[in-house]
Structure 1
């Protein structure tokens, strides 16, 4: 990297909560945050916003008449951005850029408007302006009163981490000193869930996904059910589950006093696909992105990797194989959060980053309860964060404790 970048805040609303304390507490238990809903007449596992996050969004929606017609994906981004800007001390500063992306964008509104069009043959007046992808960063900018550049983009499930790449590029170019970056997703709609089921990667409600959990305090083993088996490398069924939420971080040039963590390296890569949804057995794209993020750093200095690990058989194994290729026989501690809160598409990489920053802040590794590895007495100083999406586009971000 041309120059190190400080992360001065990160905020999110997700199934885990809407404040750092609430989210950290949620990571301390072995529970997941899934519920069963009916979509298109079929039962489906989903991960909805926490009650605290939902209350914040409902309050935001009612705070301005213009906000009532916005999609949840836009409101989630606005709420998370408000929280991040306050934490960073940017509240009275309008001189920053914004890049917040979404894989699916205004999914709920688009489906609603399209259904109305099929029924009436007439499109609603707001059907176009409220469903464009540019809505996300534009409305965040409007809400915060920022005067810098605003960018919305979609690069499928790695969108959130790509926003960090974009923010860093703007800062390193000298065109901005501060950038608000992140991802937002509200994909819990009938059509989106049906799309995932059509790929045959979605967890089935009637499947009992039993696995062994190791109680680290007593070193005893017990069996229990986890609906998403992310990072279970021996699972027999795909088990991806969709979640919703937004996560936004504040980036600043150089190393600043109030930094939560420092970005030491970034990596990105795209691999040639054999199929629209495929990834190579050893995830070539991840190998390239991780090696680029590490740069000249000895891989043994990385204490943990927060994996993308979507809970699919091929996705989890290929990323694990890539990590083995990069780190050799001495693997860092591995973890993921999708077994707990599901796959939030564009937001997922940012929630991975938030998890990494919490581990750095509290100097405590967050394990996956059914993935066996030695995790005692880990001094968490450097964490590598991964994300990948359809199209074989991978991003890796290396962060270190300030």
Structure 2
């Protein structure tokens, strides 16, 4: 990192809510926010947005005639982007960049329009512009009335942290001084859940905890899909209103032997964590917010990668997917949010069904991991 990067605000909406104080309160108990949803041909565990947030998002949809035909992934991103720039004190005159990614994109609308096409042989007028991935960042730029650069991309489940990489790169290059980065997913649809079930990774159990992230004794995969959006305001330099700082970034892609799996010791994570650490000693890392999707191989391979890098100096380990589901692209940024909250409150959030860990007396540096299909890992080092 050539220059300091400040995180001056973060906003999100997920199964844990949309207010940071509520989100932290929900992290401090051992309750998950997963529920059974009825689909056309099956029922499945999911992590839905809270009803009060759904109502506010529907209100946003009705606030502008142009918004009535937008996919929920766009509306979720609009909802949290407004909050983030207000908290950071940004205005349209700042001409900040925007990079909002999504793994699935406009899933709800795409499935709707495709079904319509199969039934009628015709497609609706707005089917193309409302389902292109780039329309997320474009609509946010419209809504916030900014004229800076706009980027949208998809790199599977590490998309959100790749957005952060892009924002950092633009700022470090001198091409921008501020960047709004984020990700959004509204993917609780029949086809999306059926796809995950076909991969044999989805939760089937009716235990107290449907998703057993980091439980190495589990006999079945326990991934549960959630929906949500998260955005972060990044600024060049050390700012007085910074809530955390990006101290290091790392990324890696490994050669795959299977479409959905990474190596048994997650070599991509080993490389991304080493890069993010830079000259920082592994002994200085107080906690790691893991990707840990709740699958047998996924959880174990990441743990092995951590063991390779940290040895006997293994930090406090945690993950949030047992509580709010795997939100695809948004997951890495929700993990980053958990890391920021732990820095602010100086308290580690434990996973309830694994052996209790000793939380460090002081939490100064946290590593956040994310990886997706394709073996594309990202690690971000944040500090107070």
TM over 0.5: yes
Q: State how many pairs are aligned.
A: 384
Q: Following superposition, which runs of at least 4 residues in structure 1 exceed 4 angstroms of deviation? A: none
| Contact 1:367 1:375 survives alignment (8 Å) | no
Alpha-carbon separation, structure 2, partners of 1:147 and 1:196: 38
Q: Secondary structure at the match of 1:328?
A: helix
| Contact 2:316 2:360 survives alignment (8 Å) | no
> Bigger shift: 90-99 or 186-195?
90-99
Q: Please give the per-residue CA displacement for 1:7-44, whole angstroms capped at 9, x wherever unaligned.
A: 00000011000111111111011111111112241110
- Do structure 1's residue 81 and structure 2's residue 81 form an aligned pair? yes
Q: Please give the per-residue CA displacement for 1:23-75, whole angstroms capped at 9, x wherever unaligned.
A: 11110111111111122411100110012321221111110011110000000
Cα distance, 1:376 vs structure 2: 4.1
| Contact 1:185 1:246 survives alignment (8 Å) | yes
- 2:243 aligned partner: 260
- 1:290 aligned partner: 273
Structure 1 residue runs without a partner (length 5+): 210-224
| Contact 2:347 2:359 survives alignment (8 Å) | no
| Contact 2:181 2:231 survives alignment (8 Å) | yes
RMSD (Å) for aligned C-alpha atoms? 0.9
Alpha-carbon separation, structure 2, partners of 1:170 and 1:377: 34
Cα distance, 1:294 vs structure 2: 0.2
Q: Please give the per-residue CA displacement for 1:319-353, whole angstroms capped at 9, x wherever unaligned.
A: 00000001001200000000000000000000000
| Contact 1:160 1:346 survives alignment (8 Å) | yes
Q: Secondary structure at the match of 1:109?
A: helix
- Do structure 1's residue 340 and structure 2's residue 323 form an aligned pair? yes
- 1:187 aligned partner: 187
- Do structure 1's residue 319 and structure 2's residue 302 form an aligned pair? yes
Structure 2 residue runs without a partner (length 5+): none
Cα distance, 1:96 vs structure 2: 0.2
- 1:139 aligned partner: 139
Alpha-carbon separation, structure 2, partners of 1:45 and 1:208: 9
Alpha-carbon separation, structure 1, partners of 2:52 and 2:5: 31
Alpha-carbon separation, structure 2, partners of 1:15 and 1:52: 11
Q: Secondary structure at the match of 1:329?
A: helix
Within the candidate set 357, 368, 381, 2:340 is matched to 357
| Contact 2:286 2:360 survives alignment (8 Å) | no
| Contact 1:365 1:378 survives alignment (8 Å) | no
Q: Secondary structure at the match of 1:77?
A: helix
> Bigger shift: 244-253 or 93-102?
93-102
Q: Under a length normalisation based on structure 2, what TM-score does the superposition of the two structures give?
A: 0.99
| Contact 2:92 2:146 survives alignment (8 Å) | no
- 1:368 aligned partner: 351
Cα distance, 1:377 vs structure 2: 5.0
